[in-house]
Amino acid sequence: MAVVLLLMLVQLPGYLSCLLCAIRAAVERAVAATLAAAGDTVSAVADCHARKFTSNFRTYLCIKSSSRNQPSTPMLHRPNHPEQPYPAVQI
């Protein structure tokens, strides 16, 4: 019985090493997948942003008229566009 326990104790570092290598590989794959997804998201947002301002949508630079004590603020406005729920976005 003691010999079996001694053999198991000797083999334990090998098992732990193998387990740690497997965990490390899984974490590396997860991080790589996360970074790839984040990169895809950033490029998709950049493409959407570029398309939004260079496609057939007409953009207007409107001047927001405010009360007499406040100066007017430039606004970017695309009338009747479904992606823009508010009438104007301040730039």
pLDDT at 65: 41
Q: Report the first-to-last Cα separation within the chain, whole angstroms.
A: 78
Domain boundaries of the chain, sorted by first residue: 1-55, 57-91
Residue-wise pLDDT for 2-36, tens only, equals: 787 877 878 887 888 888 888 999 999 999 999 88
What confidence category does residue 56 fall into, taking pLDDT thresholds of 50, 70 and 90? Answer: very low
Residue-wise pLDDT for 64-87, tens only, equals: 444 444 444 444 545 555 555 555
Phi, psi of 45 (to 5 degrees): -65, -40
Both structure tokens of 54: 């260079």
pLDDT at 30: 93
62 pLDDT more than 70? no
Alpha-carbon Rg of the chain, whole angstroms? Answer: 30
pLDDT at 61: 40
